[in-house]
Homo-oligomer: A and B are copies of this chain.
Amino acid sequence: MNYSLKSMIILVSLFIFACYQKPVDTQTAEYGIVIHGGAGWITEGKLSKEEENSYKAKMEEALRRGSQILSEGGSSLDAVAETIMMLEDSPLFNAGKGAVFASSGENELDASIMEGKNLNAGAVAGVKHIKNPIILARAVMEKSPHVLLAQEGAEAFAVEQGFELVDNKYFFTQGRWDDLQNAKKSEQSGNDQSSLINEKEFKFGTVGCAALDKDGNLAAGTSTGGMTNKKFGRIGDSPIIGAGTYADNATCAISATGHGEYFIRNVVTHDISALMEYKGMSLNEAAELVVNKKLKEQGGNGGVISIYKFGNVVMKFNTPGMFRGFMLENNEPQIKMYKN
């Protein structure tokens, strides 16, 4: 073999290497669903076995409900809406019935929903008399030319759409009320709102869901009561498309939970999608970079759940725990709360 031939072989190898593309993904599940029920300082021993079982049972029930819709050929949008509605109706999570109290002593709820096939989206912020904000968010998407409606205006739209308004007292739970009193006491003793947020005891309750249906369509949604003792009409990331919720059939469907301000500034759910679409990252790599590097370096606590267009699921968080679970096709639901 002469010298130039050897060089040629080396160059051909280099050229092939330079042109190397990642192998095309393969379908891991025809349909599937993934949920979260908030991230935070959820560590073993904090909850009683009974409490643990309540959370697990409700998450399993919600996953099975969503999965049933998908198995029967229902849309990912229906599965996401129904699953989140079930979590909203439980007092366990900071959304719907179990929403935390704002500083005013009332509950102010936010939600959003998005369809990956057409990038349609709907959201509501600061509603006080809507039993299931996720259903109102869906109505905003489907029945109005708008994406985001806030406060009394959103409720006027709800009435026009035939929603029944509930008394704000519907959202009363003793535990959340006690949380507000404790937050106010802490505030009076000189801790400002921002120190309260950084308090290690803080739990970012929120519920979220992402799903892939048999038609290959993705959808995601998020619903929350926001932060205990929130003031000034504060809006977090949950009703913001690209921050708390994002879905694009070209990449994935994602719902986030955490310290909302960081999630807004980092446009977290759109950033994960963009890293996949523009940089060729896997969903796992993209979520890892955003949650465990970008957010973590800034002190932005929280996590995301997501399902990829080919059916694999990613659940990432940088807090000690996150209520989470998924169910792929007819497999048993997988539910976790702590780091491992």
Residues of A within 8 A of B (CB): 2, 4-5, 7-8, 11-12, 14-15, 18-19, 114, 119-121, 125-126, 144-154, 156-157, 192-194, 197, 231-236, 240-243, 246, 260-261, 264-267, 270-271, 274-275, 278-279, 298
Q: Is the CB of A264 within 8 A of B15?
A: no
> 14 A-B residue contacts at CB 8 Å?
A14-B15, A120-B265, A121-B264, A125-B235, A126-B151, A144-B232, A145-B192, A149-B235, A150-B233, A157-B231, A240-B241, A241-B264, A241-B267, A242-B243
Q: Is the CB of A274 within 8 A of B270?
A: yes
Q: A279 to B274: give the CA distance in the assembly, Å.
A: 9
In the complex formed, the residue of B with least CB distance to A108 is B153
Known interface pairs A4-B8, A264-B121, A265-B147. Does A232 touch B157 (Cβ–Cβ under 8 Å)?
yes
- List, in ascending order, chain B residues with CB within 8 A of A5's CB: 4
Copies held by the complex:
2
Known interface pairs A149-B235, A271-B274, A275-B278; 16 further A-B residue pairs with C-beta atoms within 8 A, sorted by A's residue number: A8-B8, A11-B12, A114-B265, A119-B265, A145-B194, A146-B232, A146-B261, A147-B261, A149-B233, A153-B232, A240-B240, A240-B242, A241-B243, A270-B274, A274-B278, A279-B279
Q: Is the CB of B197 within 8 A of A148?
A: no
How distant is A268 from chain B, measured CB to nearest CB, in Å?
9
Known interface pairs A242-B242, A267-B242. Does A234 touch B4 (Cβ–Cβ under 8 Å)?
no
Q: Is the CB of B151 within 8 A of A150?
A: yes
- List, in ascending order, chain B residues with CB within 8 A of A193's CB: 144-145
Which one of A148, A149, A264 has the greatest number of beta carbons of chain B within 10 Å? A148
Q: A194 to B145: give the CA distance in the assembly, Å.
A: 5
How distant is A302 from chain B, measured CB to nearest CB, in Å?
14
Q: Is the CB of B15 within 8 A of A154?
A: no
Q: Pick from B8, B152, B243: contact of A7, CB below 8 A.
A: B8
Q: Is the CB of A265 within 8 A of B146?
A: no
